[in-house]
Amino acid sequence: MSGSIFGTLFKVINWGESHGPAVGAVVDGCPAGLPLSEADIQPLLDKRKPGQSHLVTQRKESDTVQILSGVVDGITTGTPISLYIPNQSQRSKDYHNMQQVFRPSHADFTYFKKYGLRDVAGGGRSSARITAGWVAAGAIAMKILDTEGIQIMAWVSQVGNIKTNLNANDITTELIEHSATRCPDKKQAKLMEQKILEVRKQGDTIGGCIRCKVKHVPVGLGEPVYDKLEADLAKAMLSINASKGFTIGSGFEGVELQGSEHNDLFINDGDSIKTKTNRSGGIQGGISNGMDIDFSVAFKPVSTLLMPQSTVDTEGNEQILQVKGRHDPCVVPRAVPIVEAMAALVLCDHLLRSRCSKLR
């Protein structure tokens, strides 16, 4: 019960530490009959991996995934899929001076107090490195969603105070991948890039936002009461390292509206029932209504800085900490595939759950 299992029918069990031999995940509940190979998973891992651009950490990891079980002759068998990703570039010595010192706004202090010990190297289990396993599992979920036409697309919508003004409907994967920032707005992407390089030069970091759209969602995913689709998405997003907020549809801005301005009126567009507007963000009463699911996630600036900070050690003595190591100056470019993967896990789980809603 270490909090490492996600999902109810499509479950992911995540394991591994930053500086151990490998990180991995087991996917339990993948239906039999899905064509699957490492080549389906690797591209999403490549979007997440370190060292992919000048904006991210220069730790060298190929993040090459191996499927150890659950697939025979390129087809899933309905049994657990074990995913294995070796760690290649551990540099535990970077962490020697942190042995007794709590890095500010990191998990050092809380792990130490919770467990009575901690894995110092690379932050151990609290490292964003372990999201490699999440992403690998998410790639399988995406393949299942793809069989029903469901598509997930996330992008960087803000870095520091620089925001995109693009209409969400104009955004394409090509535009997103055009810039190392993963912001589809060319002009703003350039400003974001400058900002990230500037804070990196200072040894500092900067926050950002990611927005995500899920298209072609069938009506009926999500459960009433506690397992509302937006509730499970919120949990998924807040489980990502450094995330501090989640909004669906109108979010905090909808608060200022009156119901007569906010309500999404139903219309018949010939083929199906739609809504004129989508302030609901594609979910009503916890259940998808067929409109695009549309949510945003806030990420704080990375807490590991390459500048001196005051802190305390395990004895409570004040210390000045000077961190070494290879770190991201801004988390959002690499968090895009993580947001997509977690969204895929939630949707895939609810897709399977929806098979049991009605008597046949």
The distance of closest approach from Cβ of residue 125 to its own copies in the complex, given in angstroms and rounded to an integer, is 4
Q: Is 342 helix (H, G, I), strand (E, B) or coil?
A: helix
Which residues have C-beta within 8 Å of that of residue 314, sequence separation ≥ 6?
100, 101, 102, 112
Say which DSSP state 109 is in.
Answer: H
Determine the interface stretch with its own copies among 57-65, 72-80, 174-182, 183-191 (rule: CB under 8 A).
72-80
In this complex, which beta carbon is closest to its own copies, that of residue 179 or of residue 354?
354
Kind and range of the H or E run holding 188: helix 186-201
Determine the interface stretch with its own copies among 52-60, 167-175, 180-188, 294-302 (rule: CB under 8 A).
294-302
**50 part of the interface to its own copies, by CB under 8 A:** no
Which residues have C-beta within 8 Å of that of residue 111, sequence separation ≥ 6?
118, 119, 124, 125, 126
**166 part of the interface to its own copies, by CB under 8 A:** no
Give phi and psi for 248, each to the nearest 5: -120, 135
Kind and range of the H or E run holding 346: helix 332-353
Q: Residues 253, 235: contact at Cβ < 8 Å?
A: no
In this complex, which beta carbon is closest to its own copies, that of residue 161 or of residue 165?
161
Q: Which two tokens stand for residue 103?
A: 């890095």
**165 part of the interface to its own copies, by CB under 8 A:** no
**155 part of the interface to its own copies, by CB under 8 A:** no
Number of residues that bind its own copies (CB under 8 A): 152
Give the footprint of its own copies on residues 74-93 (CB under 8 A).
75-82
Q: Is 216 helix (H, G, I), strand (E, B) or coil?
A: coil
Judged by CB under 8 A, the residue of 184, 208, 333, 337 near its own copies is 208
The distance of closest approach from Cβ of residue 174 to its own copies in the complex, given in angstroms and rounded to an integer, is 26
**156 part of the interface to its own copies, by CB under 8 A:** no
**320 part of the interface to its own copies, by CB under 8 A:** no
Give the integer Cα–Cα distance in Å for 330 and 305.
11
**169 part of the interface to its own copies, by CB under 8 A:** no
Give the footprint of its own copies on residues 122-151 (CB under 8 A).
124-126, 130, 144, 147
**38 part of the interface to its own copies, by CB under 8 A:** no
**72 part of the interface to its own copies, by CB under 8 A:** yes
Give the integer Cα–Cα distance in Å for 199 and 55.
11
**95 part of the interface to its own copies, by CB under 8 A:** no
The distance of closest approach from Cβ of residue 65 to its own copies in the complex, given in angstroms and rounded to an integer, is 13
Q: Are strands 243-248 and 293-299 parallel, antiparallel or unpaired?
A: antiparallel
Give the integer Cα–Cα distance in Å for 291 and 286.
13
Our measurement of the distance from residue 240's CA atom to the centroid of its chain's CA atoms, rounded to an integer in Å, reads 6
In this complex, which beta carbon is closest to its own copies, that of residue 42 or of residue 82?
82
In this complex, which beta carbon is closest to its own copies, that of residue 173 or of residue 233?
233
Give the footprint of its own copies on residues 246-275 (CB under 8 A).
246-252, 254-268, 273, 275
Q: Residues 330, 128: contact at Cβ < 8 Å?
A: no
Q: Which residues pair with 214 in a beta bridge?
A: 152, 293
Judged by CB under 8 A, the residue of 207, 294, 336, 344 near its own copies is 207
Give the footprint of its own copies on residues 98-117 (CB under 8 A).
102, 104-107, 109-111, 113-117
Q: Residues 100, 313: contact at Cβ < 8 Å?
A: yes
Q: Which two tokens stand for residue 254?
A: 């909808």
**179 part of the interface to its own copies, by CB under 8 A:** no
**348 part of the interface to its own copies, by CB under 8 A:** no
Q: Is 61 helix (H, G, I), strand (E, B) or coil?
A: coil
The distance of closest approach from Cβ of residue 177 to its own copies in the complex, given in angstroms and rounded to an integer, is 22
Print the binding letters for residues 211-250 with its own copies: x by CB under 8 A, - otherwise: --------xx-xxxxxxx-xxxxxxxxxx----xxxxxxx
**193 part of the interface to its own copies, by CB under 8 A:** no
